[in-house]
Structure 1
Amino acid sequence: MPVRVTESSMPSQVFGENPGNTTLPPCTLLSVGQAFSGTQNVSSLQKDEAWRVNVRILGCDLDHGYLCGTMEALNVPMADTPVVTFWEGEIVDTKNYTFFTNKWGATSDDDIKHWTKFPSFSRLRSQVEIDGGKSLDLSNYPYIFMRWKEQYFVNVGTDCGLTIAGFYYVCFSCSDGSISGFYYDPNSSPFQKLELKSINEGRSGFSFSSYELQ
């Protein structure tokens, strides 16, 4: 939710026909209730700025390539309160979703530019450029690629000074639960980086505020 300013091993590859029945392995760090905390860099040419960000997963359906959750930005300069949004995500599993977005104003060139920001994508790039990755088997790949699209503001109005017109390209590490992402919106600062780490709430004492989703 940026201000509007007007990371490996090679997966087994199936070249040719996609078997269609590959599913991503279960990952305990990508599950309902899991929390993440970190920052989003929203720097522009005028100033350097980063917000503290918390994310919680509220729903996850690997079979259908779907997940959803909330994102909370804590130190937004123009807001009197933390800004919370509800987002829905697409998991790139080559069955339900490929690396090509095909919506939200993103072209295949935009997709490649953003996915290549993740080091873990480098060995996938050549096949993705051909067919969006339809012929890739990602079932044993140690990273999960996703897109997160914020749907609405939970606790503030649309006049809060932020935009949710764009979406995030996201890379999740199955080994440690870390998340990196880049925000895409032609009308916002490019390549705003999201960096999150998995939180063990019981040990850290970290907790989310409670919000009712409408």
Structure 2
Amino acid sequence: MPVRVALENTTTPSHVSGANSRRNSFQSCSLLSVGQAFSGTQNVSSLQKDEAWRVNVRIQGCDLEHGYLCGTMEALNVPMADTPVVTFWEGEIVDTKNYTFFTGKWEAAPEDDIRHWTKFESFGPLLGQVELDGGKSADLSNYPYIFMRWKEQYFVNVGTDCGLTIAGFYYVCFSCNDGSISGFYYDPNSSPFQKLELKATNDGRSGFSFSSYELQ
């Protein structure tokens, strides 16, 4: 959720067209489950200044069979906001069954997809296949990383005049080994490659607490 430039209406996620019929299922990962919390930062630096926000994320829903998850994101030290800013997001899991590496919406062309996915070192072995067919024929079921897109849908506790934008979305890479998350925000009207870095937390048992919000 970078500094507001413009807001656009959210769209319904588009599913894979003509994808491989093989029904991949990801390895079980307890750190990618409902209730799991993550904490870290988002770098929102621009040419004018260096800036990073503390960010908390909690998974509210996860359906690996349909490549879906959702959650809340809380930015704590946003300069133009009096309170932490919370958004609700929905995610697409790149599983080659429901979604491929090609976004096909949100103003992201295939070139933008490749440019962002290749920011993740873990994506390297998949590049050739993705350039060929979006990775539709790749078997990701036992890959140690899970790739996703997170699209913020609405503000939970503030209005749209809070000074931030949710017009873009995040390219996300989740490590099945340690639950760490890295991501890059994409919005043609915002600073490029704003990096999100999160680590799984024990939700209070290690000193981190996450506020509760009622989602409408």
Cα distance in 2 for partners of 1:202, 1:212 equals 19
Equivalent position SS for 1:94: coil
Gaps of 5+ in 2: 7-18
Q: Percent identity?
A: 85
Give CA-to-partner distance per residue, 1:60-99, whole Å, 9 cap, x none: 0000000000000000000000000000000000000000
Cα distance in 1 for partners of 2:75, 2:156 equals 12
What residue number does 1:2 align with?
Answer: 2
What residue number does 2:115 align with?
Answer: 113
Gaps of 5+ in 1: 7-16
Cα distance in 2 for partners of 1:191, 1:57 equals 23
Kept in 1: contact 2:97–2:136 (CA 8 A): yes
Aligned pairs, how many? 204
What residue number does 1:193 align with?
Answer: 195
TM-score (norm 2): 0.92
What residue number does 1:70 align with?
Answer: 72
Kept in 1: contact 2:5–2:164 (CA 8 A): no
What residue number does 2:129 align with?
Answer: 127
TM-score (norm 1): 0.93
Cα distance in 2 for partners of 1:76, 1:22 equals 40
What residue number does 1:61 align with?
Answer: 63
Give CA-to-partner distance per residue, 1:44-71, whole Å, 9 cap, x none: 0000000000000000000000000000
Q: CA deviation at 1:25?
A: 1.2
Q: Which amino acid aligns with 1:129?
A: E
Cα distance in 2 for partners of 1:152, 1:118 equals 27
Kept in 2: contact 1:168–1:182 (CA 8 A): yes
Equivalent position SS for 1:63: helix
Cα distance in 2 for partners of 1:22, 1:166 equals 28
Kept in 1: contact 2:58–2:71 (CA 8 A): yes
Give CA-to-partner distance per residue, 1:170-193, whole Å, 9 cap, x none: 000000000000000000000000
What residue number does 2:88 align with?
Answer: 86
Q: Which amino acid aligns with 1:142?
A: P
